[in-house]
Structure 1
Amino acid sequence: MGNFSGQVALVTGAASGIGLAISRRLLAEGARLVAYDINRQALEEAFGANASVARLEVMDITCQEAVEASVQKVVEELGCVDILINCAGITGKTNTKTHEVCSQDLHKVFELNFMSSFYTSKAVLPYMLKANYGRILHLASIAGKEGNAGMLAYSASKAAVIGMTKVQGKEYAETGITVNAMAPAVIQTPLVDAMPEAQVKYMTDKIPMKRCGTLDEATDLALYIVSKQNSFTTGFTFDLTGGRATY
């Protein structure tokens, strides 16, 4: 279709789930994809044969120095970063009440779900400011709005992502850069498949449509959010919950 023809799009968590679905659609739309993931094999299996992929970056995005160095290289080689989509994330231990939460697990979830999104956005924003254009999308969750019992680390980290989105949206509102989040309910991905059945049922039962969202539905919304057409919405968290959240 070519709606993103020539644009440089950096996607974290690009080798699986929502990140993979978004990355494939961006490629089909003509973007130059920079795919970040810690799983080398998954990255190569997903994109290794695709000559239109600009770069495959195997790295730990919870390391700020590595993120900054990588983004600098991307800009040196490709000229810019037009789009950043932060999809990398983990649930951590679930079905666990607060008094049973392991602090080490809590820190691990925050490092990947929140801090890495801060690191990547901090790294790309100076280049977007120079270009007077940019689109940033942070993947949040309905858990960040409402809180899922038994998922303290995940819910709190996604609430932090929503808070950051609001701040960044206001800070860069006059610069041609939009910063938004997307808050899905349960989307059928490998991450969800790995959850305990009881936890998934708990979340799905809260959805008025009584089903998981699909990767196509998530991708359609994500691509609108980072498109040039989405020019007057920033600092907003887009709902993708089958009617669960109406605010």
Structure 2
Amino acid sequence: MNTYDFNDRVAIVTGGGQGIGFTVAQRILASGGKVAVWDIDTALLDKLAENLGVGPDRLLGLNVNIADLSAVREGVTAVLEKFGKIDVLINNAAIVGPNAPTWKYPPEAFNDVVQIGLIGTFNVCHAVVPHLIAQNYGRIVNVSSVAGKEGNPNAPAYSSTKAGVLALTKSLGKELAGYDIAVNAVTPAVAKTTMAMSQDPDFLKMILSKIPRGRMLELSEAASMICWLATKENSFTTASTFDLSGGRATY
């Protein structure tokens, strides 16, 4: 497993209590960084230090609902008070919602998915970016999905949300191109996460059949790409999308 230079770097990882976010936090910590994990699952946060095997000097777990801008701002303040700065932002938090065609999709569920996955990502960027500008350094990685490129049938809310995250990435990356701040997105195919496995089995079978690799994405594979994009070494590429779909999306 490769390590990356995160010495003296402070990262926020949203939705970091499990899945891809947890694995990214684990890799950053193993590479010398400090991490603030944001999650709404208090049970996961309670076990965070034990599961990651680090002390409070390098880890901060916070219960933050990113759909609430005031809660996001409070979270940013807590990170700054604890670690003194923010260098890296991994926008990973999302919910998938139910599986149903658009005309049968529950409107309240559509709103919930968008509020967390898209509005929440905007909220965190809105609160964090001024601090990155002030220090003329930062790396932002937004976790989108291959669904945002292609649109998955019976997942209109998730597909729309993840397409919006890609557009937000491109806009923000261009806005910040004059600074040493890189903003990029990744588009994972389905991985064996709690969130993904909660979906309808027939739906999972359908999206797995679309992956030429013939298997799910490994969490460690996602973390490898995300972490490199979050390093200082990624000094030129910005406003771009990196494929993690096992060959499903080739653009």
- Shorter-normalised TM range: over 0.9
SS in 2 for 1:20: helix
Residue 159 of structure 1 corresponds to: 163
Q: Deviations over 1:104-162 (max 9, x none)?
A: 10000000000111011111111100110000111100000000000000000000000
Q: Is 1:4–2:6 an aligned residue pair? A: yes
Residue 129 of structure 1 corresponds to: 133
**Counterpart Cα distance in 1 of 2:197 and 2:59:** 30
Equivalent of 2:64 in 44, 59, 63: 59
Percent identical residues:
37
Contact kept, 8 Å, 1:47 with 1:53, in 2: the verdict is no
Equivalent of 1:68 in 70, 73, 77: 73
Deviates further, 108-117 or 70-79: 70-79
Q: Is 1:168–2:176 an aligned residue pair? A: no
Residue 235 of structure 2 corresponds to: 231
Contact kept, 8 Å, 1:68 with 1:123, in 2: the verdict is yes
SS in 1 for 2:67: coil
SS in 2 for 1:91: coil
Give the C-alpha shift of residue 53 in structure 1.
Answer: 3.4
Aligned length: 246
Q: Is 1:146–2:145 an aligned residue pair? A: no
Q: Is 1:84–2:84 an aligned residue pair? A: no
Residue 28 of structure 1 corresponds to: 30
Residue 209 of structure 1 corresponds to: 213
**Counterpart Cα distance in 2 of 1:171 and 1:53:** 31
Residue 116 of structure 2 corresponds to: 112
**Counterpart Cα distance in 2 of 1:101 and 1:166:** 28
**Counterpart Cα distance in 2 of 1:12 and 1:73:** 14
**Counterpart Cα distance in 2 of 1:185 and 1:118:** 22
SS in 2 for 1:42: helix
Unaligned stretches of 5+ residues in structure 1? none
Runs of 4+ in structure 1 off by over 3 angstroms are: none
Give the C-alpha shift of residue 73 in structure 1.
Answer: 2.9
Residue 198 of structure 1 corresponds to: 202
Residue 244 of structure 2 corresponds to: 240
Give the C-alpha shift of residue 2 in structure 1.
Answer: 6.3
Deviates further, 118-127 or 189-198: 189-198
**Counterpart Cα distance in 1 of 2:211 and 2:75:** 39
SS in 2 for 1:195: coil
Equivalent of 2:106 in 93, 102, 109: 102
Contact kept, 8 Å, 1:144 with 1:159, in 2: the verdict is yes
Q: Is 1:220–2:198 an aligned residue pair? A: no
Residue 190 of structure 2 corresponds to: 186
Q: TM-score, normalised by structure 1?
A: 0.96
**Counterpart Cα distance in 1 of 2:180 and 2:232:** 10
**Counterpart Cα distance in 2 of 1:65 and 1:43:** 20
**Counterpart Cα distance in 1 of 2:173 and 2:132:** 14
SS in 2 for 1:233: coil
SS in 2 for 1:33: strand
**Counterpart Cα distance in 2 of 1:2 and 1:155:** 31
Contact kept, 8 Å, 1:36 with 1:57, in 2: the verdict is yes
Unaligned stretches of 5+ residues in structure 2? none
CA RMSD of aligned residues (A): 1.2
Letter in 2 for 1:120: V
